[in-house]
């Protein structure tokens, strides 16, 4: 077994209480959890965009600049949606790509636009847009295969 590979499974808003209740019906998840390092991460503020950005960057909202789903543009005083372009620090998959470490990221937060990074394969199927986004374009064939495998009984 290659011990140089790492996978991180983060379940937003799912408490240990409910996860434990699900385990008898999910043998694959039960096996993954039994062989894993487990931790509960608390964050402040407890808001998805700020929390996930902090987890993925390793810095707090005061540094990465994402406090909520939206922000007020102080030039126009209009409300806008936070995007990956507003993040002031690289996320883990971006750091790995810069270090030339091949990696796959599913649903990065913020998830739009997908930033093309060498050695990094990204797929995002968030609720802000109607279709699955991915990078690089060659990743499309792998996604089709994965979706076919997951759907086939």
Q: Which residues contact 113 (CB under 8 A, 6 or more apart)?
A: 83, 84, 85
More confident of the two residues 20 and 13? 20
Cross-strand bridge partners of residue 123: 106, 134
Model pLDDT, residue 14? 77
> Is 58 a member of any domain?
yes
pLDDT band at 130; cut points 50, 70, 90:
low
> Is 7 a member of any domain?
no
pLDDT band at 80; cut points 50, 70, 90:
very high
Residue 54 CA to residue 64 CA, distance in Å, equals 7
Tokens of residue 127, six digits: 């609720």
* Number of domains observed in the structure of the chain: 1
More confident of the two residues 100 and 124? 100
For residue 89, which of 116, 64, 66 has the smallest C-alpha distance? Answer: 64
Residue 15 CA to residue 5 CA, distance in Å, equals 26
Residue 44 CA to residue 4 CA, distance in Å, equals 32
> Is 112 a member of any domain?
yes
> Is 10 a member of any domain?
no
> Is 122 a member of any domain?
yes
Residue 97 has pLDDT above 70, yes or no: yes
Model pLDDT, residue 153? 46
Burial class (CB in 10 A: 0-12, 13-18, 19+), 95: middle
Return the minimum-mean-pLDDT range out of 6-15, 73-82, 101-110.
Answer: 6-15
> Is 1 a member of any domain?
no
Domain that holds residue 82: 16-151
């Amino acid at each position: 077994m290659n011990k140089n590979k790492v996978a991180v499974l983060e379940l937003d808003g799912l408490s240990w209480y409910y996860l434990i209740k699900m385990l008898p019906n999910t043998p694959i998840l039960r096996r993954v959890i039994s062989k894993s390092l487990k931790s509960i991460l608390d964050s402040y503020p407890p808001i998805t965009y700020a929390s996930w950005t902090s987890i993925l960057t390793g810095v707090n909202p005061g540094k990465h600049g994402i406090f909520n789903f939206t922000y007020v543009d102080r030039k126009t005083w209009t409300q806008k949606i936070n995007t990956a372009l507003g993040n002031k620090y690289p996320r883990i998959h971006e750091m790995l790509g810069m270090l030339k470490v091949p990696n796959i990221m599913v649903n990065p937060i913020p998830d739009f636009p997908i930033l093309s990074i060498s050695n990094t394969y990204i797929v995002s199927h968030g609720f802000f847009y109607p279709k699955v986004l991915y990078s690089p374009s060659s990743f499309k064939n792998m996604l089709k295969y994965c979706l076919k495998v997951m759907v086939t009984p």
